[in-house]
Structure 1
Amino acid sequence: MRIIDDTFAPIDTAPRTGTPIIVAHEDVGAFAMRWNQAATNEMFAPGAIGMWEATDCSMTWAEAPGLGPSHWKPLGDGGLN
């Protein structure tokens, strides 16, 4: 079963306003997250400032090329696949 379908858009079009959305990568999964421009995670992304953060603050996802989410969709658009 594919995670990313035609309801997702490329991550470079995602809102970076702090609004919760679904972010996804086919090899990793889909998660409810929001962009936090001040977030850091020195263990997984040393020196990076600004990353995707779970809505419950339990995890972060850096936007490094090839490592971050590749797609997004609104949180109210059917939820997680």
Structure 2
Amino acid sequence: MTPVEIAKTLVSLEGSAALTEVCGSGRKGEAAAVRVVMLRMFPDTGYDDLEAGLQLALTIARMDQAEREAARH
């Protein structure tokens, strides 16, 4: 799978709020559980693509939250 496909899958399965809650601060060990799940979900995908997909998913999730926040104000 490509990083874009991985990101779309993560955001649709987990949702923006859950992703940013689990991985939001950017600390290294924080996303370990998500990475383990990703290895199981995408077993034939290289680590670099998985990492790029996770980073893209987090970016999308943060943008989604920013849009919701802006809509409230």
Shorter-chain TM range is: under 0.3
Give 1 or 2: higher strand fraction.
Answer: 1
**Alignment TM-score, normalising by the size of structure 2:** 0.26
Give 1 or 2: higher helix fraction.
Answer: 2
**Alignment TM-score, normalising by the size of structure 1:** 0.25
Which structure has more relative contact order (CA 8 Å, sep 6+)? It is: 2
